[in-house]
């Protein structure tokens, strides 16, 4: 059973949990409390010098960065799964959506929202506009598509939905985008174990946000 070092509420951690549920993999969850500095302890730094979650340890193999982890899990435990198609063009589209998530959508959300939560900064209108620009792009990607990378649920959807669901803790209304709203409800209804793997974490993230704002 692979070990997953994680913190409830983290969108990248939730993406891994969603993928594990979709593959019917049991993970040994190990809590890393970032607020207590668990990620800076010598034993964790030995595993991951970048001191970040999620971190996967699978039979001695250590891997971090959630999008790399979810691709690895499918490659090892779900060979041939539509979650990460092997046909080159189909896989490239999934990869593109994953890169869009980490490099644009999630990054812009983090740049806008995390300084408010963890640093008490005021909302930045320019950063908010960048988030909206990213949502418009995602809405465009989903035009005429059931899922973000084609007709089937993939790890791109699981990563993106972990990000988008985090917006619920903010003042960003992603549901005003019709394609995103439709896709969001579709993934919630079809991703295996969605409530356990993601919604509980979203609730934990909302609780953390509320406590930090106080």
Q: What is the pLDDT along the chain (214 residues), one digit of tens a residue?
A: 999 999 989 999 999 999 999 999 999 999 999 888 889 999 999 999 999 999 999 999 999 999 999 999 999 999 899 999 999 999 999 999 999 999 999 999 999 999 999 999 999 999 999 999 999 999 999 999 999 999 999 999 999 999 999 999 999 999 999 999 999 999 999 999 999 999 999 999 999 999 987 7
Residues marked active site are found at: 10
Q: Is 177 left (phi over 0), alpha (psi -120 to 50) or beta?
A: beta
* Residues across the chain: 214
Please identify which residue in the block is written with the tokens 């994953």.
98
CB-based contact 5:30 (threshold 8 Å): yes
Distances (CA, A) of 106 to 7, 31, 100, 134, 135: 17, 22, 8, 9, 10
Phi-psi region of 208 (alpha: psi -120 to 50; beta: other; left: phi over 0): alpha
User: Is the pTM higher than 0.85?
Assistant: yes
Q: Which domains does the chain have, with CATH numbers?
A: 3-77 (3.40.30.10), 88-213 (1.20.1050.10)
């Amino acid at each position: 059973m692979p070990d997953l070092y994680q913190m409830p509420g983290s969108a990248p951690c939730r993406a891994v949990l969603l993928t594990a549920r979709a593959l019917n993999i049991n993970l040994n969850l190990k809590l890393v409390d970032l607020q207590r500095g668990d990620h800076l302890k010598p034993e964790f730094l030995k595993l991951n010098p970048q001191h970040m979650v999620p971190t996967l340890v699978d039979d001695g193999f250590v891997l971090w960065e959630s999008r790399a982890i979810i691709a690895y899990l499918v490659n090892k435990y779900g060979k041939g799964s539509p979650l990460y198609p092997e046909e080159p063009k189909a896989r490239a589209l999934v990869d593109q959506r994953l890169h869009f998530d980490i490099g644009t959508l999630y990054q812009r959300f983090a740049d806008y929202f995390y300084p408010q939560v963890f640093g008490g900064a005021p909302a930045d209108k320019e950063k908010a506009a960048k988030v909206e620009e990213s949502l418009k792009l995602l809405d465009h990607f989903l035009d005429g598509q059931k899922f973000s990378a084609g007709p089937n649920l993939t790890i791109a959807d699981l990563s993106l939905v972990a990000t988008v669901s985090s917006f619920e803790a903010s003042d960003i209304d992603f549901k005003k985008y019709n394609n995103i709203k439709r896709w969001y409800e579709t993934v919630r209804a079809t991703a295996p174990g969605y409530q356990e793997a993601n919604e509980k974490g979203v609730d934990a993230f909302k609780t953390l946000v509320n406590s930090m704002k106080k």
